[in-house]
């Protein structure tokens, strides 16, 4: 992902400086490690070296921030630039004439650096810190550079983004020689289509990423004997009404799902399913194990909780989830003061990726204790069927109250699996069904004897009988 002449340790040190600069506040070692993705030992070694040269300093509470030596370097750079002195009168004149803020910027690689600015007192104000460096595609100055960039500038910009293009191509095109040829093809397409780039339709990075990715996919399809080609550009600005509606529905569904994810999981999703990176590559770049990556991907696919929309889940932190359960048990007039038996999916006891969910919930101050439920699927399903009969006294063995809205909404809609006709189709909204199944398996019953007579009239709720409550 980097040029062969670049020293990786220096590149990593510069990345740490960039993170500290963008943070705007001192950061702990673990925070820097999480943001850059490098091993903790590597980050600590880099910070120790930079501290020795006063590039980085450490606060009394152990946090790291930029050192004063960088201020000295910045002043030297400022004195070496006399363009601001020359441009200042013209900037002030332009500000008075337009009533808008005026900024003096320079394009360097894929970034825009603000050298000087004149702010207006009018309503239209654009403020950018002097000396700030921002990506060329996300600033108004950058979009001006892109719109009027010469071929020479485009070549320089392309060289700057070549590592990104290689990074996108690598998981899609496995052969090294093919990757270099694919990079040349993508660069040629960028050159040919550079004049068609429209900043109003999206960022430069999005345009470049889409073009490079589609070029790589087309090459991979040709290698495998496919003939259908993807467009080397962003989708057409004028799709048909049907295509527009379908795109909108898909976009909204995907946005809802991704918005519910933490940023780390969202980036993991993009790596795996958009850039087609292998699990091994993701694990190596994030400094974790393949098993941990697979576990996170599995959790992304199935989100638990209820949002009110069919088969759409909600992610809640286990500790927060335990707090809500305990609060409900203490405040609900029906549950308060009762001994509640916690039965849960055995998956919450998994410790392969660290502390289990069950252990998190059992900690102070919630103290929720769980027992692993018996998740034998067919036996659990039959417990449902057994309880749909009446007992020997004519009482129903499965009672559902009108407050169990999602139980009533989901359970009657479940259908059998076409390939496994003895079990339900697990692609449905079956979470409440599974929870109930665990509770039923806690107290399994035998198949009731067949009765020919109708049940005698009786109180179906049997309010005088001691009820046993379950936390599910």
Domain residue extents for the chain = 8-72, 81-147, 151-233, 254-301, 318-471
What is the predicted pLDDT for the residue at 180? 81
Q: Is the per-residue pLDDT at 80 higher than 60?
A: yes
Backbone angles phi, psi at 189, to 5 degrees: -65, -40
| Range with top average pLDDT, 78-82, 83-87, 269-273 | 269-273
**Lowest-confidence region among 147-161, 226-240, 280-294:** 226-240
What is the predicted pLDDT for the residue at 470? 58
What is the predicted pLDDT for the residue at 334? 58
pLDDT tens by residue, 32-49: 888 887 888 888 889 989
Please measure the distance between the N-terminal and C-terminal CA atoms of the chain and give it in whole angstroms.
Answer: 48
| Range with top average pLDDT, 12-16, 186-190, 317-321 | 12-16
Q: Which residue has the higher pLDDT, 388 or 265?
A: 388
Supply 211's token pair.
């073009």
Cα–Cα distance list, 326 to 294, 319, 334, 364, 439 (Å) = 31, 11, 14, 11, 19
Q: Is the per-residue pLDDT at 304 higher than 50?
A: no
pLDDT tens by residue, 316-347: 678 888 887 887 777 766 567 777 778 888 88
**C-alpha triplet 121, 123, 127: angle, nearest 5°:** 70
Average predicted confidence (pLDDT) for the chain: 75
Q: Which residue has the higher pLDDT, 314 or 407?
A: 407
**Lowest-confidence region among 121-130, 254-263, 361-370, 402-411:** 121-130
pTM: 0.33
CATH number of 81-147: 3.30.450.40
406 and 432 in contact (C-beta within 8 Å)?
yes
Quickly state the pLDDT bin for 391 (edges 50, 70, 90): confident
Quickly state the pLDDT bin for 54 (edges 50, 70, 90): confident
**Lowest-confidence region among 42-56, 195-209, 293-307:** 293-307
Q: Which residue has the higher pLDDT, 235 or 188?
A: 188
Q: Which residue has the higher pLDDT, 470 or 134?
A: 134
Closest CA to 363 of 326, 309, 312: 326
User: What integer is the mean pLDDT of 93-102?
Assistant: 80
Closest CA to 304 of 294, 319, 293, 318: 318
> Which of 3.30.43.10, 3.30.70.3270, 1.20.120.530, 1.10.10.10 is the CATH number of 8-72?
1.10.10.10
Q: DSSP for 74-96?
A: HHHHHHH--HHHHHHHHHHHHHH
What is the predicted pLDDT for the residue at 115? 74
Closest CA to 183 of 207, 209, 162: 162
CATH number of 151-233: 1.10.1740.10
Q: Are 151-233 and 254-301 in the same CATH fold?
A: no
Residue 325 Cα to chain centre, angstroms: 26
Q: Show the DSSP H helices in 99-175 as ranges.
A: 140-147, 151-169
Q: Is the per-residue pLDDT at 173 higher than 70?
A: yes
Q: Is the per-residue pLDDT at 269 higher than 60?
A: yes
What is the predicted pLDDT for the residue at 142? 66
Closest CA to 99 of 125, 61, 127, 63: 125
398 and 389 in contact (C-beta within 8 Å)?
no
**Lowest-confidence region among 37-46, 84-93, 209-218:** 84-93
Quickly state the pLDDT bin for 313 (edges 50, 70, 90): low
Distance between CA 167 and CA 196 in Å, rounded?
Answer: 24
User: What integer is the mean pLDDT of 274-278?
Assistant: 76
> Which of 2.120.10.90, 3.100.10.10, 3.90.1170.40, 1.10.10.10 is the CATH number of 254-301?
1.10.10.10
Cα–Cα distance list, 370 to 306, 340, 341, 416, 439 (Å) = 21, 10, 7, 30, 12
- Coil, strand or helix at 103: strand
């Amino acid at each position: 992902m980097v040029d062969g002449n670049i020293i990786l340790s220096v590149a990593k040190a510069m990345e740490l400086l960039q993170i500290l600069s963008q943070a705007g506040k001192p950061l702990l070692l673990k925070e820097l490690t999480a943001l850059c993705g490098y091993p903790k030992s590597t980050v600590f070694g880099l910070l120790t070296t930079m501290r020795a040269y006063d590039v980085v300093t450490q606060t009394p509470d152990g946090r790291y921030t930029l050192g004063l030596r960088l201020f000295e370097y910045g002043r030297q750079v400022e004195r070496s630039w006399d363009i601001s002195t020359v441009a200042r009168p013209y900037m002030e004149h332009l500000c008075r004439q337009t009533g808008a803020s005026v900024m003096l910027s320079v394009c360097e690689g894929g970034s825009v650096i603000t050298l000087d600015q004149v702010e207006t007192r009018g309503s239209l104000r654009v403020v950018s810190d002097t000396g700030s460096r921002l990506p060329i595609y996300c600033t108004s100055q950058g979009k001006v550079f892109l719109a009027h960039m010469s071929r020479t500038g485009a070549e320089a910009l392309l060289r700057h983004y070549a590592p990104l293009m290689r990074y996108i191509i690598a998981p899609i095109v496995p052969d090294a020689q093919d990757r270099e040829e694919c990079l040349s093809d993508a660069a040629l397409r960028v050159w040919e289509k550079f004049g068609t780039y429209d900043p109003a339709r999206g960022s430069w990075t999005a345009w470049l990423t889409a073009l490079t990715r589609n070029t790589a996919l087309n090459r991979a399809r040709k290698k495998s004997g496919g003939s259908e080609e993807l467009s080397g550009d962003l989708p057409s600005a004028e799709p048909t009404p049907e295509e527009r509606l379908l795109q909108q529905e898909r976009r909204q569904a995907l946005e809802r799902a991704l918005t519910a994810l933490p940023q780390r999981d969202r980036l993991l999703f993009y790596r795996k399913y958009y850039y087609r990176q292998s699990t091994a590559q993701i694990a190596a770049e994030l400094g974790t194990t393949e098993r941990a990556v697979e576990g996170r991907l599995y959790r992304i696919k199935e989100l638990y909780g209820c949002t009110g929309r069919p088969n759409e889940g909600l992610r809640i932190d286990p500790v927060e989830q335990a707090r809500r359960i305990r609060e409900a048990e203490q405040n609900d007039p029906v549950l308060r003061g009762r001994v509640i038996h916690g039965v849960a999916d055995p998956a919450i006891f998994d410790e392969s990726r660290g502390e289990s969910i069950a252990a998190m919930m059992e900690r102070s101050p919630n103290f929720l204790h769980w027992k692993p439920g018996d998740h034998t699927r067919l036996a659990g399903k039959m417990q449902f069927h057994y309880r749909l009969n009446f007992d020997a006294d004519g009482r129903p063995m499965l009672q559902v109250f009108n407050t169990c809205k999602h139980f009533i909404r989901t359970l009657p809609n479940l259908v059998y699996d076409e390939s496994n006709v003895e079990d339900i189709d697990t692609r449905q909204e079956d979470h409440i069904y599974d929870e109930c199944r665990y509770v039923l398996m806690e107290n399994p019953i035998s198949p009731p004897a067949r009765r020919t007579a109708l049940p005698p009239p009786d109180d179906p709720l049997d309010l005088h009988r001691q009820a046993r409550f379950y936390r599910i």
